[in-house]
Amino acid sequence: MAEYSAPVKDMRFVLDNIAGLDDLSKLDGFAHVEGDVVDAILEEASKFAGNVLSPLNKPGDLTGSHVKDGVVTTPPGWKEAYQGFVEGGWNGISAPEEYDGGGLPQAVTMATLEMWNAANLSFALCPLLTQGAIESIRAHGTKEQQDKYLKKLVSGEWAATMNLTESQAGSDVGALRSKAEPAADGSWRISGQKIFITYGDHEMSENIIHLVLARTPGAPAGTRGISLFIVPKYLVNDNGTLGARNDLKCVSLEEKIGIHASPTAVMSYGDNGNCVGYLLGEENKGMACMFTMMNSARLGVGVQGLAVAERAYQQAVEYARDRRQGQAPGMPKGEMTPIIHHADVRRMLMTMRANIEAMRCLIYLNGACLDRAHHGPDAETREIAMGMAELLTPLSKAWCTDLGVEIASTAVQVHGGMGFVEETGVGQYYRDARILPIYEGTNGIQALDLVGRKLGLRGGEPVKQMFADMQETVKGLAAAGDEMAAMSLQLNLAVSALKDATDWLYSNAPNDPHAAPAGATPYLRMFATTVGGHLLAKSALKAKAMLEGGASDTDFLKAKIVTARFFMGQILPTATALLGPVTEGPETLFAIDEELLSA
Amino acid sequence: MAEYSAPVKDMRFVLDNIAGLDDLSKLDGFAHVEGDVVDAILEEASKFAGNVLSPLNKPGDLTGSHVKDGVVTTPPGWKEAYQGFVEGGWNGISAPEEYDGGGLPQAVTMATLEMWNAANLSFALCPLLTQGAIESIRAHGTKEQQDKYLKKLVSGEWAATMNLTESQAGSDVGALRSKAEPAADGSWRISGQKIFITYGDHEMSENIIHLVLARTPGAPAGTRGISLFIVPKYLVNDNGTLGARNDLKCVSLEEKIGIHASPTAVMSYGDNGNCVGYLLGEENKGMACMFTMMNSARLGVGVQGLAVAERAYQQAVEYARDRRQGQAPGMPKGEMTPIIHHADVRRMLMTMRANIEAMRCLIYLNGACLDRAHHGPDAETREIAMGMAELLTPLSKAWCTDLGVEIASTAVQVHGGMGFVEETGVGQYYRDARILPIYEGTNGIQALDLVGRKLGLRGGEPVKQMFADMQETVKGLAAAGDEMAAMSLQLNLAVSALKDATDWLYSNAPNDPHAAPAGATPYLRMFATTVGGHLLAKSALKAKAMLEGGASDTDFLKAKIVTARFFMGQILPTATALLGPVTEGPETLFAIDEELLSA
């Protein structure tokens, strides 16, 4: 099993041609983001990912994290790797420079995030959570809170967690019961139990800043009565030094299917009535604060889907080149053929590859939209970009994580019997990937977000803009002729079907509250796959232009065109066919009484 | 987590209306198979499955099987359960009565097999392997061999294994290197190492009869030089008592993603040069002997896919009825709604259900075809039935096991975060199911078997007959009017596309050796899904006729119609759309050089 090797060339291609790196570097605050700087960053990150994080992945799975007397121990090497991560400045590369961050665009961060997660998903979860807290405190914290927490979180000396879920409150966050009582000094006393808290405790960082959702006395029911609190593991003195241990602890860790090295904690706050918290943002506005980090956290989980798929793909290609079985047509007689030359194995690999490249386009574009939303030259540009970022987010999260599971499963299949044996390591990706469609809003929730909120966002402008972009690509393909013209027809069919599905949702949602939810999941799949096809087609057009302009890397550029053609011919058609399922309506879903669904 | 509850009513419905139980009971040897006998069998089997096997499933996963000094220990309770299984007469219910078997049709055995595997997949593997050996010895053994081994294997007092795979010989069985040297007494001395031997050793039965593929001196290369040997763990004296321990041992067990309780052994034969084997069938005809058991073994694995899906479905329904989150449209205000009332959750459950019922139809029909192939009144009937059984086998194996994985994954998703926690038990199905698309011929191999062998079998007659059957259903639906007529259109589209795909394969396979292999996997999916739709539509037509005839169980029968409609509207369209991928041809598969597939 080889270590992870970051696909730096493809990452850079997507950054240049889909995310628009050149344009991003012209935005306010990104003047330092030149092409060779980005190259250097990707190169260094790929070394850290491949040499440090990747070798810890499988041992971490075998050892797991453990808790004893409320103290969590991460696997051997974990703490040292985290220290290296912090010292390398990787933790805060997209955080603002005023807090000693790297001030890099989100688009570029997508690439480094992909690397950490492909190398070691369990490890990469820790900084992912810290990132969410940084954004939340930046957006909603007082000046004093920002000064107290941000630099340490940006550097990674302190880590952070997000505490939403309680046993009765999962997708339905509004059902949470944890409490916050005001104290005389203006702080709060937190009490309650939270579950599924990723990196709820560990010894990798000096301190852990827990962001905890709770209800204040007399708060309204549901999501409108939730407030967000900063609850440090060690209280922080005004001079920035660490004070007393707060009244909170890790009660237990879950035994999970995968991500064994990532401690998933049950956290108890205020067992002794003395858990100190500080209100972040306004009282009863906790959900709004959570939404601040939601977009980027969901996008981050989408990256995890892409990342685990890439890792699984690399291992599958390696195995398929090495393993010999049978005799493929046209291969040398008298010896077994590497299975990569069997058409059905090649189909599996190409399916993985085409989906991965499409996901990478979607994710990096989504990151670039966030950059334009925050750094765009004027309010209108920023609003338009934010609309697009918000539209793409549920696609990035749900599609890329569903594909993460599917591709990890295919990688096991490529390995045959060896894939089912843990020794090979590919089984870990299959087990690890399974959490991704669940956490940070299940993929069902993402689909509801798409049909319920995003289609109607800003009067439907982002959707219209995406359709216009796709039509542009359809035209571009047609004008480019030859094999491109064939892709134009295929993409046009998909876009038309997606439009029909969208119109059906717009028409039927107002009349039947079940109509949109019933079609939401196939609609998201259809939408994301079509966007994926559109972005691969754009890549192919760019590659063609570069080839015609005499670019040197012809193999790579020709492969870009083939991959797009494969996607159009092999992957897009079933997505287009989801028009039927989306517009079938909810009747057959509910026609069998729930009691009759069990045997 | 509730124990498994066999869906006896649906099983009986499928036996009656799809497998044609009534007709089967008129065949030679099946006179004793009356409806109430079948009911009694299903009832008793469901008790054993639910009360004995099911409670051992999760503990077995946690404990696993272990090897020490060549002796394998299965989990606590395993041996007693096996004893109960043997005493209940379950092991040989489809074996001939002359060997004290139950002489039941394969179709009925599919139902009991489904129960054992749904209750406890790891446990059920042991008798599944014994079954293969029974068939092989029956078909190819000498009278003496049959007398010596069959009764004990039929009763289950002895178990059996199949030894094909070696580290360099997986899908490519012909590459195996194990040897057999003739001994003076007419027996053989076996030597070699075999891997992935299911239940390679255990103490549940008095003896284990290993069937081992090996090469005799001077045998031709490849599959034409392979012979099959009976290699007992304990040699059997002529009076039937057990003699000396044979020179074979379990070297190690694999650490696997799932089926932890099923010992997957590395077996070493002849370490001391004294491993005694007996030739089964003719020298160099070992592959033919293996093919004898292949059809039923592959069908058996297809049943496992169905079974794990059913188990996962039951648990998902139970969880969805119990778990409350959010507020679904039309449900009581002021309380959280059981998630089963959310459209997207219902979609997941209905997708599982519709696929499961379609799989059950396919599998039981496949079993009935085998019954007709062996018990049909004349040679022609038997040949036609065997052709259909052979056509359906790769569909049963590959489609049902791919769906087994997909449905287990969906069941995890229904559970949300709890699904990722091992405690819930649903993760075990996700892990266990992953072996099914791999063993007993990978699903890629099944697809190649379909396009490479089965399409051309008997001049394509079985395929033509299946198309004729499907057209009959299309007509029947049209004639039945109303909602049935809508299904007729949907099914007709699918059948037409499948015909087009088939014609494309017939036309292109002769010209390009990659053409059929390139399209094989989507073609199998398309074929099986269309057959599934056809069989559910037949079920719906039967249900409608029964309702019109005044049948009492109206809820069940109406649900049959709804399930068929759901399948047509939600599941069939994407299968129909595979026409594109099947007929796209191999060009894009191979256009990127293998060296460029890695980063």
- Whether B294 shows a pLDDT value over 80: the answer reads no
> What pLDDT score does B504 carry?
98
The fold of the B305-440 domain, in CATH, is: Butyryl-CoA Dehydrogenase, subunit A; domain 3 (1.20.140)
> What pLDDT score does A599 carry?
60
> What pLDDT score does A293 carry?
77
The H or E element containing residue B242 is: strand B242-245
DSSP-assigned letters across all residues of B118-138: HH-HHHHHHHHHHHHHHHHHH
Backbone φ and ψ for A182, nearest 5 degrees, come out as: -70, 140
Pairing of strands A158-163, A207-214: parallel
* Rounded (10°) angle between helices B78-87 and B54-63: 150
Cβ contacts of A345 on chain B, cutoff 8 Å:
444
Instruction: Report yes or no: A299 and A364 within 8 Å, Cβ to Cβ.
Output: no
Kindly report the nearest CA distance between residue A237 and chain B, in angstroms: 36
> What pLDDT score does A406 carry?
98
- Whether A3 shows a pLDDT value over 90: the answer reads yes
Q: Tens of pLDDT along B536-580?
A: 999 999 999 999 999 999 999 999 999 999 999 999 999 999 999
In chain B, % of residues over pLDDT 70: 100
Q: Which of B8, B347, B423 sits opposite A589 (nearest CB)?
A: B347
- Whether A410 shows a pLDDT value over 90: the answer reads yes
Nearest-Cα residue of chain A relative to residue B406: A406
Residue whose structure tokens are 């109960």: B84
Q: Tens of pLDDT along A290-308?
A: 887 777 899 999 999 999 9
Mean pLDDT of chain B: 96
- Whether B372 shows a pLDDT value over 90: the answer reads yes
The answer to whether A417 contacts B405, with C-beta atoms less than 8 Å apart, is: no
> What pLDDT score does B364 carry?
98
Instruction: Report yes or no: B268 and B249 within 8 Å, Cβ to Cβ.
Output: yes
Q: Tens of pLDDT along A99-154?
A: 999 999 999 999 999 999 999 999 999 999 999 999 999 999 999 999 999 999 99
- Distance between CA atoms of residues B548 and A63, nearest Å: 62
The answer to whether B346 contacts A563, with C-beta atoms less than 8 Å apart, is: no
Cβ contacts of B581 on chain A, cutoff 8 Å:
569-570, 573-574
> What pLDDT score does B292 carry?
78
> What pLDDT score does A356 carry?
98
The H or E element containing residue B349 is: helix B343-375
Q: Could you state, in order of their start, the residue ranges of all structural domains in chain B?
A: 8-284, 305-440, 442-590
Tokens of A467: 């359709």
Question: Confidence band (pLDDT; 50, 70, 90) for A574?
Answer: very high
Interval A81-99 mean pLDDT: 95
Nearest-Cα residue of chain A relative to residue B514: A343
Q: Tens of pLDDT along B455-467?
A: 999 999 999 999 9
- Between the alpha carbon of residue A184 and those of residues A6, A191, A276, A284, A352, the distances in Å are 53, 17, 12, 20, 58
Cβ contacts of A513 on chain B, cutoff 8 Å:
329-330
> What pLDDT score does A294 carry?
77
The answer to whether A420 contacts B405, with C-beta atoms less than 8 Å apart, is: no
Tokens of B157: 């007092």
- CATH topology of B305-440 equal to that of B442-590? no
Q: Which of A256, A350, A574 sits opposite B422 (nearest CB)?
A: A256
Instruction: Report yes or no: B128 and B161 within 8 Å, Cβ to Cβ.
Output: no
Q: Which of A344, A577, A586 sits opposite B448 (nearest CB)?
A: A344
Q: Is A283 a catalytic residue?
A: no
Tokens of B156: 């289950």
Cβ contacts of B521 on chain A, cutoff 8 Å:
344, 347
- Distance between CA atoms of residues A129 and A135, nearest Å: 10
Q: Which of A504-508, B173-177, B343-347, B523-527 has the lowest mean pLDDT?
A: B173-177
> What pLDDT score does B410 carry?
98
Can you name the residues that pair with A264 across neighbouring β-strands?
A: A198
For chain B, state the CA radius of gyration.
Answer: 24
Q: Which of A43, A440, A483, A584 is the catalytic position?
A: A440
Mean pLDDT of chain A: 96
The answer to whether B421 contacts A256, with C-beta atoms less than 8 Å apart, is: yes
Cβ contacts of B598 on chain A, cutoff 8 Å:
5, 314, 317-318, 321
Interval A376-392 mean pLDDT: 97
- Distance between CA atoms of residues B394 and B389, nearest Å: 9
Give percent helix, percent strand, percent coil of chain B, each to the nearest 5: 60, 10, 25
Q: Which of B9, B321, B420 sits opposite A594 (nearest CB)?
A: B321
Q: Which of B254, B440, B594, B595 is the catalytic position?
A: B440
Nearest-Cα residue of chain A relative to residue B523: A344
Cβ contacts of B9 on chain A, cutoff 8 Å:
599
Cβ contacts of A444 on chain B, cutoff 8 Å:
342, 344-345, 348, 413
Single-letter code of the amino acid located at A522: P
DSSP-assigned letters across all residues of B568-586: IIIIHHHHHTTHHHHHT-S
In sign, the C-alpha dihedral spanning B214, B217, B221, B224 is negative
- Whether B599 shows a pLDDT value over 70: the answer reads no
The answer to whether A422 contacts B195, with C-beta atoms less than 8 Å apart, is: no
Interval A227-247 mean pLDDT: 97
Tokens of B192: 């070699």
Interval A182-205 mean pLDDT: 97
Nearest-Cα residue of chain A relative to residue B176: A325
The answer to whether A448 contacts B255, with C-beta atoms less than 8 Å apart, is: no
In sign, the C-alpha dihedral spanning B457, B461, B467, B469 is negative
Top CATH class of B442-590 equals mainly alpha
- Whether B293 shows a pLDDT value over 80: the answer reads no
Nearest-Cα residue of chain B relative to residue A412: B434
Kindly report the nearest CA distance between residue B450 and chain A, in angstroms: 13
Can you name the residues that pair with A68 across neighbouring β-strands?
A: A71
Interval A41-47 mean pLDDT: 98
Tokens of A203: 């010894």
Nearest-Cα residue of chain A relative to residue B315: A598
> What pLDDT score does A360 carry?
98
Instruction: Report yes or no: A597 and B353 within 8 Å, Cβ to Cβ.
Output: yes
The answer to whether A7 contacts B599, with C-beta atoms less than 8 Å apart, is: yes
Q: Tens of pLDDT along A433-490?
A: 999 999 999 999 999 999 999 999 999 999 999 999 999 999 999 999 888 999 999 9
User: Which has the closest alpha carbon to A456: A510, A492, A496?
Assistant: A510
Top CATH class of B8-284 equals mainly beta
User: Which has the closest alpha carbon to B540: B294, B403, B358?
Assistant: B358
Residue of B397, B420, B451 to mutate when probing chain A, most A C-beta within 10 A: B420
Instruction: Report yes or no: B3 and B50 within 8 Å, Cβ to Cβ.
Output: yes
Interval A364-372 mean pLDDT: 97
Q: Tens of pLDDT along A513-555?
A: 999 999 999 999 999 999 999 999 999 999 999 999 999 999 9
Strands (E), B38-178: 66-68, 71-73, 158-163
The answer to whether A170 contacts B417, with C-beta atoms less than 8 Å apart, is: yes
Query: Does residue A136 sit in helix, strand or coil?
Result: helix
